[in-house]
Structure 1
């Protein structure tokens, strides 16, 4: 019995790996530099890093599980033919970190939220599942304070937006072997004002890796950028610390400096005439469908909160809505009741974050820490705050105009089912259970099996087992009862329970 969320994926960066320039600028195919003693099992199986990119459908290529009785967040069901498979992400790998932050002890839903909020690219720190005991012993011996290497506070690569002035971009380039470039800054020049550190290594230009560029290719790319350019750079301190930790200099680790536009957080309280905006599904600058805000009525709450026509909705109550359809996004807005917390980007910001292939949610905190950002000093609400807001919502009336006619979601329907085992002794269904939720839900129903004949459906939530109610304190006990109970099973079910991100939902 396990909790599972499907993730799809496309690329991996492993410790001691390097880019293969023959496969193109943006293709993170890797060649192995085998410099480990073959008898050093810890050296071969220490944590490694996977830089993953979403495909055209916004998917990642593997399944993330939280398995009862086991620690960690486990990679399962890697899709054949995906980059995740080609680049060595293994069934059973445990996710230790997301974008340089340790997630070993975070709840399952929190890890899913982090991955979703990372947008087009996400950096995962993973450990081979069969090496956990070796790794723990290595850690206990004092050979490493953390299984998941973490950069010091404030030591991160920087995403800097540089606008030309009379002195140009304000830097010159020194280079070593192909793909290795460092910037020498003009004193007081545009690059220095944009936060580029002196002697920084150049990693990306406008979201494109320069790992396989020649000097002439880089010069041409900079000329093509026109009057402004987005540079991903790592100062000497960052480069040295990443080298010591074995961390790749990856874009999802970056903090924003002098960016042309930032995500904005809006807080709305429903008035007598509603919130005063229209939500419409359209294609964004990257060609992907998104949820856009239009017809902002003057003087109503949306207008007063600073919403602007053409803003794209990025998150509701701190939870990303990237890749969600129109109806599901509206349902999440409805669940907030009279008080809405939205994160939005205007068209300029949307184009910028699409170009650099990063989610604006990665830079929400930076927007309040830098002078060029908006005046908001608020951060993403915590998980508990988000859940409190959702659970206190009682007004199910549609709180805003939408471009499609929607019926407010119905309350869950309850029913009783009596199940007897089939010829092979099984009931014909599979369970999912979130680590931080009391829900036990049906994740799979075998066609023609006992569960299917009794009317069980994927997504149903089990409320009672043989008369015993399911609650936060007794989830494990009930799961054990489901395993040991003599037939028949009497189940009380609720259809399609929803708690933020559904267990088993595709990202």
Structure 2
């Protein structure tokens, strides 16, 4: 039943994206998104393949349902696999698609790590702008390698997330229904809605994080009454609708900009003192029952308290990188990599509940993310997992010689943790060469054909693997057992956080 409700909500989200178009015999169809990329005429240099937009929602396991892979010689990540029956498949994501945009950010000229960082920071919903790889390559060959093929999205394509607090005049709007199930707001002059930033003639898209596309006006009014003193609306003004129609951009919640929101995430900057940072990092269940990372035992007078940390704050990002879905050990590793200067993004309980309600990540409403700082000298962070983490690092090693199978491959997937120098086996094909040789998921690769894997040569090793002639000689360290989730986060089963290399 929960799965059916999740799919129903996703269908409502997707339905809400649909703009209403009218056919004018003189002008033709005014929606460029209706152009089929497969119809691109190779002789027509003026046309570019039209991108597709996929609004994805995470499932109960925290997955969007697809894998990303970095190809050597290409900056953009490529969709390497779409899991059947998932949000990604239902929204039309396909193997071989290039990620050109994440929410309102254009990613065409960004590298793999930046794209992954923005997807992870998107939270429970993400809007991807994609195009088939082969179509993009044809267009890029025509245009050259300098300028981006697709311009940045105009700020006018962003709907608004407005928080309205009722006053003596109520919420300051009434609702009128249009054709096709759409709803528009009629504002009271100087009322609460107008002060909250709702534009005149705005179309109502969501109410408290729920799409109104499939609701009746009576149901909407009932939800408003239940909201009592405050309500959060996702709306789009007439000009935003017009621009989105012209560009073929859907009116999706992850595009939203915040207006008069009651809460916001906090960015804390800590410098280690003589007695450390003065806090503990603990893994606990949040209000939604999911294990998350919380900041506890904030010592009075220590750097953490001075930076504004409060007991019970939930950690959402380290140095701008989301820690959503990471294990406790991996989060500790991210903190350790920052050395004696920490940049942490946190939310208190009220903020956490608000963004959970609207089903958006608090990181979408912060200043643009900066790249992660380079790992510095390891320092002590007061956390219960440090000694446990050190005890779990690989110890025993073994040599393994692999000869290609009948199909010419080895039957394994290699990935690299970006926060520390570890190349490891993230997937082994059942019955393949690697499986028969006893290789297991989580095994750490120390050497490839005699070349040691270091903190600076992981991509060189990946190049070597592509060019290596058989047999393939690997020196491996056994992974840390069941606790090997320090290497492979749960979401990596759906789309990897790491640079990957598939070896069939």
Which TM class, normalised by the smaller chain length?
0.7 to 0.9
Inter-partner Cα distance in structure 2 for 1:470 and 1:53 = 36
1:107 corresponding residue in structure 2: 111
Q: Secondary structure at the match of 1:240?
A: helix
CA distance in 1, matches of 2:246, 2:397: 58
Q: CA deviation at 1:160?
A: 0.9
Is the alpha carbon distance of 1:240 and 1:412 closer, same or farther for their aligned partners in structure 2, counting shifts above 3 Å? Answer: same
Q: How does 1:60-459 map onto structure 2 within 5 Å?
A: 60-69=64-73, 72-133=76-137, 135-136=139-140, 148=150, 150-153=152-155, 155-365=157-367, 380=369, 382-383=370-371, 386-388=372-374, 391-395=375-379, 397=380, 399-402=381-384, 406-408=388-390, 417=399, 419=401, 421=403, 424=406, 428-430=410-412, 432=414, 442-445=425-428, 458=441
Q: CA shift at 1:226, angstroms?
A: 0.9
Aligned to 2:26: none
Aligned counterpart, 1:368: none
Stretch moving more, 477-486 or 151-160: 477-486
Unaligned 5+ runs, structure 2? 24-28, 41-46, 496-504
Give the whole-Å Cα distance in 2 for the aligned partners of 1:269 and 1:473: 27
In 1, distance between residues paired with 2:377 and 2:184? 53
2:498: which partner in 1? none
Once the two structures are superposed, what CA deviation does each residue of 1:123-172 show, in whole Å capped at 9, x if it has no partner? 001113343355547878xxxx9654643236521111100011111122
Give the aligned CA root-mean-square deviation in angstroms.
4.1
Any idea what the Cα deviations from partners look like across 1:252-288, whole Å, max 9, x if unmatched? Answer: 0011111111000001122222222232222223332
Tell me which moved more, 286-295 or 445-454. 445-454
Q: CA deviation at 1:351?
A: 0.6
Contact 2:82 2:94 in 1 (8 A): yes
Secondary structure of 1:402's counterpart equals coil
Q: In 2, distance between residues paired with 1:230 and 1:257?
A: 10
Pair 1:300–1:91, CA change in 2 (3 A): same
Count of aligned positions: 465
**Pair 1:100–1:434, CA change in 2 (3 A):** farther
1:89 CA drift (Å)? 2.1
Quote the offset at 1:51 in angstroms. Answer: 0.5
Q: State the partner residue of 1:17.
A: none
Task: State whether residues 316 and 346 of structure 2, in contact with CA within 8 Å, keep that contact through their aligned partners in structure 1.
Answer: yes
* Cα separation, partners in 2 of 1:107 and 1:415, compared to 1, 3 Å: farther
Deviations for 1:203-254, whole angstroms, at most 9, x for unmatched residues? 1110011122222222222122110000111122211111110101101001
Counterpart position of 1:58: 62
* Residues 121 and 361, structure 2, Cα contact 8 Å, conserved in 1: yes
Deviation track 1:44-101 (CA, whole Å, cap 9, x = no partner) reads: 9621111100111211111112222456322232212223223322222222111022
TM-score using structure 2 length = 0.78
C-alpha distance after superposition, 1:417-461 (max 9, x if no partner): 362526748573545477999986544445686656777554566
CA contact (8 A) 1:422 1:450 kept: yes
- How far did residue 347 of structure 1 move? 0.9
Q: Distance in 1 between matches of 2:356 and 2:233?
A: 14
Contact 1:178 1:212 in 2 (8 A): no
> How has the CA–CA distance of structure 1 residues 496 and 197 changed in structure 2, closer, same or farther, with 3 Å as cutoff?
farther
